[in-house]
Amino acid sequence: MKDYYQILGVKKESSKEEIKKAFHKLAHQHHPDKKGGDEAKFKEINEAYQILSDDSKRAQYDQFGAYNGPNGGGYGGGAGGFDFSGFQNGQGFEFDLGDIFGDIFGGGGRGSRQKRGRDISVDIQIPFSDSIFGTERKILLSKVGVCDTCSGNGGEPGSKMKTCPTCNGSGQVHENKRSIFGTFATIKTCETCFGRGEVPEKKCHTCGGSGVLKKNEEIKVVIPAGIENGEMIRLSGQGEAVASGISGDLYIKIHVENDPVFHRSGQNLETNLEIKITEALLGSERKLKTLDGDLTITIPAGISSGEILRVKNKGVPSRSGKRGDLLVKIIIKTPAKLSKTAKKIIEELKDEGL
């Protein structure tokens, strides 16, 4: 006799939720359509789940070691598998694919999952300064969008709606399919009304009644201040539309151009400033070009090469609006050649112990 608990890898006292999770995991692993799948194993797993997921069948199995159905047929637990004798007269087991396989492969139960349009991904390159202060861009996309003529309802403007004759207003159609597991009752979206349950008396002349069509659409993208290279911006509902469903999302990947002067380090900006030896010894004031415009900074006397001068609140804005700092690294430039006068002065400084 088969041990259904062992087949699913669960204990006899396991809850229905634990049994369901175990079934989903094993079904994913052994599904015949997947690489390395095992049809026989998948069939065995499904058989175990059909017994243990049903309270009455499970109780009979726990008590007698087999479930033989209300009339002694059906599942032959002791015989080791499904009883396919019912197919001789065109009969069979009837399952809803939405219940059995929907959760496994991403669908909802009984066709409840709403259709969703395709996501779109685009790349935008922006200057370094725009990444610091933020900017706006307009991009032109060619995509499936909602029809502007009928606003997505598929009807010619002014046309009345009527109950769909194919699905009788349910938005879904039922089909029966035969397989090795039995007769599967599949539920899918009605292709006549696209799941709306009603159709226009006169179809939209622009989209042909679908409510969506391929078109060019200009979209404004707000790029926030302080965005980093490689960050993604998600615009919900700006992807491709789908008839009687929800639109996908638009993902925009930001590429920030390198700046020849400034480098970003977290919320701070870094740059180098070359100064003369005399400026380092005596101190000075220097005008520095920054992303905020020209700025005068004071170089203290006796500064060493490699020291950092910090200019407050001139760095990268955070999401809260607070800015980092501008860090200026001092580089003392040593002359390659000295005049006789300069050399004499340096020698005198050397004699002074400098």
What CATH code is carried by the domain that includes residue 303? 2.60.260.20
Indicate whether 102 belongs to any domain: no
Produce one character per residue of 24-61: b if its CB has 16 or more CB atoms within 10 Å, e if not.
Answer: eebbeebbeeeeeeeeebbbbbbbbbbbbbeeebbebb
Q: Say if residue 231 is in the same domain as residue 327.
A: no
Q: Where are the alpha helices (DSSP H) in the chain?
A: 4-8, 16-30, 39-52, 55-64, 97-100, 128-133, 277-282, 340-351
Look at residue 269 and give its three-state secondary structure: strand
Q: Say if residue 88 is in the same domain as residue 32.
A: yes
Tens digit of pLDDT at every position of the chain (354 positions): 678 889 999 998 889 889 988 988 888 888 877 777 888 888 888 888 888 888 888 888 887 765 554 444 444 433 334 433 333 333 334 344 444 444 444 444 444 456 889 999 999 999 999 999 999 999 999 999 999 999 888 899 988 889 989 888 888 888 777 766 666 777 888 888 888 888 888 999 999 888 899 999 999 999 999 999 999 999 999 999 988 788 999 999 999 999 999 999 999 999 999 999 989 989 999 999 999 999 999 999 999 999 999 999 999 998 777 899 999 999 999 888 888 888 888 888 788 776
Indicate whether 327 belongs to any domain: yes
What pLDDT is stored for residue 146 in this prediction? 92
Residue 177: alpha-carbon gap to chain centroid: 34
Rounded to the nearest 10°, the torsion over CA 92, 98, 101, 106 is 170
Q: Say if residue 72 is in the same domain as residue 151.
A: no
What pLDDT is stored for residue 113 in this prediction? 59
What pLDDT is stored for residue 279 in this prediction? 92
Tell which of 52, 75, 92 closes a domain: 92
Tell which of 224, 256, 288 closes a domain: 256
CATH number, domain containing residue 223: 2.10.230.10
Q: Say if residue 272 is in the same domain as residue 231.
A: no
Indicate whether 180 belongs to any domain: yes
- 342, amino acid identity: A
Q: Say if residue 149 is in the same domain as residue 180.
A: yes
Indicate whether 104 belongs to any domain: no
Q: Say if residue 250 is in the same domain as residue 195.
A: yes
Q: Which residue has the tokens 């890898």?
A: 9
Produce one character per residue of 307-339: b if its CB has 16 or more CB atoms within 10 Å, e if not.
Answer: eebebeebbbbeeeeebbbbbbebebeeeeeee
Q: Say if residue 86 is in the same domain as residue 204.
A: no
Q: Say if residue 267 is in the same domain as residue 233.
A: no
| φ, ψ (nearest 5 deg) of residue 184 | -100, 125
- 125, amino acid identity: Q
What does the alpha-carbon distance between residue 151 and residue 218 come to, in Å, rounded to a whole number? 17
What pLDDT is stored for residue 42 in this prediction? 86
What pLDDT is stored for residue 180 in this prediction? 63
Residue 23 structural domain: 4-92
Indicate whether 98 belongs to any domain: no
Pairing, β 293-299 against β 172-179:
unpaired
Whole-model pTM: value is 0.58
CATH number, domain containing residue 27: 1.10.287.110
* Per-residue three-class SS string for 102-171: CCCCCCCHHHCCCCECCCEEEEEEECHHHHHHCEEEEEEEEEEEECCCCCCCCECCCCCEEECCCCCCCC
Indicate whether 100 belongs to any domain: no
Q: Say if residue 139 is in the same domain as residue 252.
A: yes
Indicate whether 108 belongs to any domain: no
Tell which of 239, 256, 273 closes a domain: 256
Q: Where are the alpha helices (DSSP H) in 246-334?
A: 277-282
Q: Say if residue 149 is in the same domain as residue 198.
A: yes
- The number of folded domains in the chain is 3
Q: Say if residue 164 is in the same domain as residue 248.
A: yes
Indicate whether 128 belongs to any domain: yes
Q: Say if residue 176 is in the same domain as residue 240.
A: yes
Please enumerate, as own/partner, the contacts of 152-155 that have beta carbons within 8 Å and a separation of 24 or more.
152/211, 152/212, 152/241, 153/196, 153/200, 153/204, 153/211, 154/194, 154/196, 154/199, 154/200, 154/203, 154/204, 154/207, 154/209, 154/210, 154/211, 154/243, 155/200, 155/201, 155/202, 155/203, 155/204, 155/209
